[in-house]
Chains A and B, each alone.
Chain A
Amino acid sequence: MSNIKNGKGVIGWIDYRLPIFSTLQHTLIDYPTPRNLNYWWNFGSLAGIFLMIQIITGIVLAMHYTPSVEGAFASIEHIMRDVNYGWLIRYIHMNGASFFFIVVYIHIFRGLYYGSYKSPREVLWWLGLIILLLMMATAFMGYVLPWGQMSFWGATVITNLFSAVPVVGTAVVEWLWGGFAVDNALLNRFFALHYLFPFLIVGVVILHIVALHTHGSNNPLGIDRKGPQDSIPFHPYYTIKDLFGLSFVLTIFAAVVFYAPDFLGHPDNYIPADPLKTPAHIVPEWYFLPFYAILRAVPDKLGGVIAMISAILILFALPWLDTSKVRSATFRPIYKKFFWFLFIDVIILTWVGGSPAEGHFILIGQLATIYYFAHFIIFMPIIGIIETPKPLPNSISESVLNKPIKDGT
């Protein structure tokens, strides 16, 4: 490793001309990290691993998949039956998408709890949200590829949303379809884009990490580091911790892939697409359910679409909506409660999104939607002003080493 710096040897020679090795050394080895990160900080690197898993399994699947209305469904069954370990590759890719979302949602809630979106990490937060939007587009298009009943009808419902756009709506939808119905043209372009988007995500992830390393990680106390005693090198401390976390999550992942591979999927997607037969309930994948609930909570189509998009866009404004100077919810008694209310609210939205839009579900969905927006637009700014935060510790090392905490902010 010392060769990197003195320019000797092959690695040193290359690094002198293209500093990839010193960049890696900085990112994965030296990177000074707060010494008090808890397990919720494992989820960023986990997201990166799941992104890699999706890309690798996806490329293998693409080698055997046929993007055509006649061939798609049968080619998936060909992968499941005739390709060596094709079933394993496909089940990993299918469930990998779900785990990717679980991991990223936890990662986002971590950010919400510890105020990681506050100065100087706003751009880091925005890049994360762009990743989220790209992930959603990728997952949606991927789900269309097997061309089962839910693929087809999900694509129909979601692409039709664009018809809510005033004046040009119909034109936009036909442009998306490349025709007058969800058909071969759409399947082909979705395949092309589903292959492309993960690489865009890789690009944004690199920017995300550059932004992260500019000011370093936040930490559970939400206070800035005061000196070298507050940091430890990434390697070996966080490499081993991330590896342990990875192994733990992979164990759960393996249990799902091998013992309940279709648990998170929908049985209707094992029925080939039939444009003449609408399924009884059209439901998106579980990770879209909160947004689907918000979409359906508004009686007007255009209004629903706007509400659904705003549900994510509003997260971009958090650095301003949160008026508190204190980052970590640990020291914010009122915000901490509201954080958990929001979490429960999102669970309720998920549940409503997966239920038929009838009876009491309509009202529950509407109330939960109003609460979701109220949390960000009303409660967050107000809490920041009226709340008295608990006293912050003087420094990370002091708090970690359990020295008595003095008063003061």
Chain B
Amino acid sequence: MKNYYQIIKIFFISFILINAFLSNVFAAGSDAKITKMNFSFDGIFGVIDKASARRGLQVYNEICAGCHSLEHVSYRNLIDIGFSNEQVKEFASQFEVMAEPDSDGEISMRPAIPSDRFVSPYQNDNQAKAMNNGAIPPDLSLIIKARAGGASYFYSLLKGYEEAPEDKELSNGYYNIAYPGNVIAMPQPLYGDDVEYLDGTEASMEQEIVDLISFLAWTAQPELNDRKSMGFRVFLFLVFMTTVLFISYRKIWKKIKS
């Protein structure tokens, strides 16, 4: 029995260690204030709220898409969050992409189709810079995974615009208490009455941010719902198998131990 305790002890120590240094590494600068929040996709059984993600798409499309791309996501992927084929086709067709060269070598524009990636607001990085005072608005496909603090950071960022203190130098930027360094090049994008939801939900600051987070958590981890349900089955199976193997082990070793 002593062995089991020893092993558990070591795992425990290692766990604490990992936690200690991760919190150390990833703790954003002390000037960034992040409110820890809970979301529908947290925890073992948490899943992406698809209705909320669909509303999030609307907010993204109406407010953020003017500046931010979503380059890893295709229109057809939207079927995953509950849109029909028809809706996806219609949604895609409002955007224009470059067509293949025709037989004369001319390149024209055509409406986007479901297999196209989300159309970027800019031709290239230089244009993005030119239109945003020298800062490039990052692609949002992976943003929830690409920042320390994840969804909580995102929440705090969008709510973090405040009156700057007198002594703060704000050249070309806006004051935000969640952003590292507190000066961000993005003007406050949301105020609470920015969209009229198609599904009739009443818009509010909180509602819009949570919906955006559902949507962007999905664009960052489209596999999340599948992963968790598969994980649960795999885990149960492994616990069962470990038990069976442990019993067999004890049984086989009985002859040796006595």
On A, residues with C-beta under 8 Å from B are: 35, 38-39, 74, 77, 80-81, 87-88, 91, 102, 106, 232, 236-237, 240-241, 243-244, 247-248, 250-251, 254-255, 257-259, 261-264, 266-268, 270-271, 280-281, 283, 286, 289, 347, 350-351, 353-355
Contacts and interface: CB of A to CB of B under 8 A. Distances in A.
Given A87-B227, A243-B245, A236 B20 contact: no
Given A77-B142, A251-B238, A251-B239, 9 more contacts: A77-B141, A80-B222, A81-B77, A247-B238, A258-B230, A258-B231, A259-B44, A289-B21, A347-B13
A39 B3 contact: yes
Contact of A354 (B25, B249, B252): B25
B248 interface: yes
B223 interface: yes
Given A267-B146, A271-B146, A347-B13, A258 B245 contact: no
A203 B142 CA distance: 39
Nearest to B230: A258
A96 to B, nearest CB: 15
Interface of B: 3, 7, 10, 13-14, 17-18, 20-22, 24-26, 29, 44, 71-73, 77, 138, 141-142, 145-148, 150, 180, 220, 222-223, 227-228, 230-232, 234-235, 238-239, 241-242, 245-246, 248-249, 252-253, 256
19 contacts: A39-B7, A74-B72, A77-B142, A81-B223, A106-B10, A241-B249, A254-B231, A254-B234, A254-B238, A255-B231, A258-B231, A258-B234, A270-B146, A270-B220, A271-B142, A347-B13, A353-B21, A354-B21, A354-B24
Given A271-B138, A281-B25, A244 B17 contact: no
Interface core residue of A39, A247, A257, A281 (most chain B CB under 10 Å):
A247
A240 B231 contact: no
A244 B228 contact: no
Given A38-B3, A254-B238, A258-B234, A244 B256 contact: no
Grouping DSSP codes into helix (H, G, I), strand (E, B) and loop, the A interface class, with mixed when no group exceeds half, is helix
Nearest to B242: A247
A240 B249 CA distance: 6
Grouping DSSP codes into helix (H, G, I), strand (E, B) and loop, the B interface class, with mixed when no group exceeds half, is helix
Contacts of A355: 21, 24-25
A240 B248 contact: yes
Contacts of A257: 231
Contacts of B14: 102
Contacts, number: 113
B142 A270 contact: yes
A236 B77 CA distance: 50
B227 to A, nearest CB: 6
B215 to A, nearest CB: 15
A81 B249 contact: no
Contacts of A255: 231, 235
Given A81-B222, A258-B230, A270 B25 contact: no
A347 B12 CA distance: 13
Contacts of B148: 267
A395 to B, nearest CB: 15
B25 to A, nearest CB: 5
B109 to A, nearest CB: 23
Nearest to A74: B72
Nearest to B71: A74
Given A232-B256, A350-B21, A351-B24, A244 B246 contact: yes
B72 A81 contact: yes
A313 B3 CA distance: 31
B228 A259 contact: yes
A37 to B, nearest CB: 11
